[in-house]
Amino acid sequence: MGNNVSIGLLGLGVVGSGVIKLIEDHQEKLVHQLGTSVHVKSVLVRNPEKARDVDLEKTFLTTNPWDVLNDPDIDVIVEVMGGIEEAREYILKAFSAKKHVITANKDLVALHGPELQEAATRNKCDFYYEASVAGGIPILRGITDGLASDHIQQVMGIVNGTTNYILTKMNNEGVSYESALKEAQELGFAEADPTYDVEGLDAARKMAILGRLAFSTDIDLTDVEVTGINGIELEDLQYGDKLGYTMKLIGYANFDDHQLEVNVQPTLLSKEHPLADVKNEYNAVYVYGEAVGETMFYGPGAGSLPTATAVTSDVVTVIKNLRLGVTGNQFTEPHFKKKLKTPAKRFGQYYVRLHVKDQAGVLSTISSLFHEFDISFNRILQTPVKKNELAEIIFTTHQTSLENFHTALNELKNLNEVIDIKSYYKAEGDGNIEMARTTETL
């Protein structure tokens, strides 16, 4: 290794530029901490002539990936180019050349993480990907190192800044989903095509990664159930507020009795829940361990320097391992065989909004139906609808199984008194109702 560690960078977008800036600006600290200098020797780019706002005087730019991957002087490859198959090919080549790899590529890690980790271990190489989840928040290292002695039972979090910004605008300012999305796009928090974020796909990939590490079990992306925010109506956020809840897109992973549940869905959180106050583009991950109890990791979930900080921290870890001669030893086989929970084993509280006929006895009929499936109501609101002689009923349930809840919903659709099930969402906590129960006209 000598007195200098050479880095090869695949990609020079906002994150790649941030990595170069941090390494240059913090060189004195790195030398003091590691006993060696760190230098980005070569970078794979699409256009070497493009103007960039980082100092590249000592860095070779190339459009040929093999100039980076085959360079014998390069010790560590940092992949920040994005994409899946091309990045996978390059990383596997790096491992075969005995180079250590750091990536910020959540899509790649979610889909091919176990394969890449196995290739790294086989070649005695390190493979780190802290920046793939929640940007600058050190959540992966917190789980694998800080909570290594604990039995983690639950991980839930806000892991997508775009959707959190949209829901914050809807919650705080009462604007529609469409208006909030448009503003997020104008500010650069959402892409021109926001599908990946608003349909929950980005969050699902991050939860697959978190679940693997937290529970030491194999989790495929197809194991994550996903519902996005694009169907949310402002009325549900307003009713949720009256009931003491705020809406968030929550990634949820639970592991007990060696059975697993992983999903991403809009969730009404009690305003007293630690995640309820996470606003705008910020991320946070709440972890519950058997010994430590509740912990929460909070911070910026994206951006050039926050994400580059996580990447550079992984660079520091690899160099420390190189100096100690312990590279390629961080991987352990999954401890538990994957077993997904059935709906009968998945429990939660739920929020439901209905349009019903505005006549006496409707609530009693609905309550009796839910009682048949051992589901009791926690809070109830009722408001008249000014057209077609309809009423709107909003209620939250106590804990029940997902199986019983879905069965009750299906039976509800067959009631003559029920016109439409407008929406239903999972709820966390009891909330603090601000409006008294009003059921007199039902």
Residues in the chain: 442
d(CA 111, CA 220): 7
Cβ count near 200 (within 10 Å) = 27
Catalytic residues: 206
Reference 395, options 353, 439, 348, 441; nearest CA is 353
For 326, the token pair is 């312990």
Residue with token string 């180079």: 99
At a CB cut-off of 8 Å and minimum separation 6, what does 386 contact? none
Q: Which of 15, 72, 13, 18 is nearest to 41 (CA)?
A: 72
Contact 255, 340 (CB under 8 A): no
Please answer whether residues 349 and 378 qualify as being in contact, where contact means their C-beta atoms are separated by less than 8 angstroms: yes
Q: What angle do CA 16, 81, 13 make, to 5 degrees?
A: 40
Residue 139, token pair as written in the block: 């959540």
Report CA 15 to chain centroid distance, whole Å.
Answer: 19
Q: 18 vs 136, 154, 256, 300, 344, CA distance in Å?
A: 12, 33, 40, 15, 47
Helix (H, G, I), strand (E, B) or coil at 77: strand
Cα dihedral 340, 344, 347, 352, rounded to 10, equals 120
C-alpha distances in Å from residue 82, one per residue of 10, 32, 100, 106? 9, 32, 18, 9
The answer to whether the CB of 353 falls within 8 A of the CB of 424 is yes
**Cβ-count burial of 216 within 10 angstroms (0-12 exposed, 13-18 middle, 19+ buried)?**
middle
Residue at 62: amino acid letter: T
Q: How far apart are CA 85 and CA 397, in angstroms?
A: 45
